[in-house]
Amino acid sequence: MANIRSNRVAEQMKKELGEILTKKLKDPRVGFVTVTDVEVTGDLQQATVFISVLGSEKEKQDTLLGLAKAKGFIRSEIGSRIRLRKTPEIIFEFDEALEYGNRIDAILRDLNK
């Protein structure tokens, strides 16, 4: 039962985070961020938010810093949008799968040339 619930909370958070990051967050360091996935623990205490960021390595690091600084704001926004007794602690991580896929794509394109 908890698994279905945590999946539902994760989906809801993913949707809300997309909107919060594009419309509400005003930090100039936060570039073009896409929330690719959210994993919430069974006890709903922690949410790992996987993001992909367009830009250079420095821009990616700046975005991560900006998100870390805005974590409290983001968490309270999530809390007001999703009815939970306790809003999960948010951890931002880069989605390596997307970059990995893009790298494979580039390699395949080079092979076809």
For position 32, which CATH number holds? Answer: 3.30.300.20
How many domains is the chain built from?
1
Q: Give the domain range for residue 69.
A: 2-112
Mean pLDDT of 52-57: 88
Cβ 53 vs Cβ 60: under 8 Å = yes
Q: Confirm whether pTM is higher than 0.75.
A: yes
Of residues 25, 52, 20, 21, the one with CA closest to residue 36: 52
Query: How far from 71 is each of 18, 33, 44, 99, CA to CA, in Å?
Result: 14, 15, 17, 24
Q: What is the pLDDT of residues 89-102, one digit of tens each?
A: 999 999 888 778 88
Q: What is the pLDDT of residue 26?
A: 86
